[in-house]
Amino acid sequence: MIPRYSDAYGPGVEGATWFRFLGSEPGMPAAGAEYTFTGLDKAGEEIPGATDSDIWVGVKPPDPPTNVGYAVTDNGILVSWDEGPIVPGSFEPAATPQLGFYMLHLFRVGTWEMVYGATSLRGSLHMIPRNKADFVQGKDFGLSLSELEDGVYRLVPRVISFAPQGSLGQGNEYNNVDPAQEIALTIQGGKVAIG
């Protein structure tokens, strides 16, 4: 059973109502194995037509962002990182069409609610905006820094790769994070302090 999940990307995305689920199991999936997902109603009965399958291809994993740095500016927090090597056909964020990407997630410590997310990043530099008016459509989601409550937050950089085109897999292949690269920050009275 995988529980229902929502985050900064979910509510009201593109005016659509959709459901997301998230869970994890220890260990790695079996390369080439088929995994089937079935939607159930409140009574635990299968919802007709709400079944899909995927195959985890098992390509080489991309390296998560390293040497993560930051600069607090008047416009927000400028985050930078060292890019990892490409994984041909699975992780080529600068390519056209884009294959895989970098992401930034900002979680409130204690509740672990994701309050801000940046997605589909092609390179190693991104500004977390202080003001909502500076959000880049399709890249920035959730709350701007000026909208966040006082508290402690964790910034988590990650890398996403895809199943190669033409393979039996579909969608995400890896979602990699190095916990040592996370950044702690505190917001107090609208001021951002890192560390």
Q: What is the pLDDT of residues 94-106, one digit of tens each?
A: 998 899 999 999 9
Q: Would you place residue 89 in the very low, low, confident or very high pLDDT band (cuts 50, 70, 90)?
A: very high
In a domain, 108, yes or no: yes
* Total structural domains within the chain: 2
Residues 106 and 86 in one domain: yes
Residues 79 and 15 in one domain: no
Q: Mapping DSSP to helix (H, G, I), strand (E, B) and coil, where does residue 16 land?
A: coil
The C-alpha R_g of the chain, in whole angstroms, comes to 18
Mean pLDDT of 185-190: 92
Q: Would you place residue 163 in the very low, low, confident or very high pLDDT band (cuts 50, 70, 90)?
A: very high
Q: What is the CATH number of the domain that holds 190?
A: 2.60.40
In a domain, 61, yes or no: no
What φ, ψ does residue 100 adopt, rounded to 5°? 80, 170
Distances (CA, A) of 158 to 6, 9, 55, 171: 18, 15, 22, 16
d(CA 115, CA 153): 9
Residues 41 and 83 in one domain: no
Q: What is the pLDDT of residues 34-43, one digit of tens each?
A: 999 998 888 9
For residue 45, the enclosing domain spans 4-55
The pLDDT of residue 110 is above 80: yes
In a domain, 47, yes or no: yes
d(CA 137, CA 146): 18
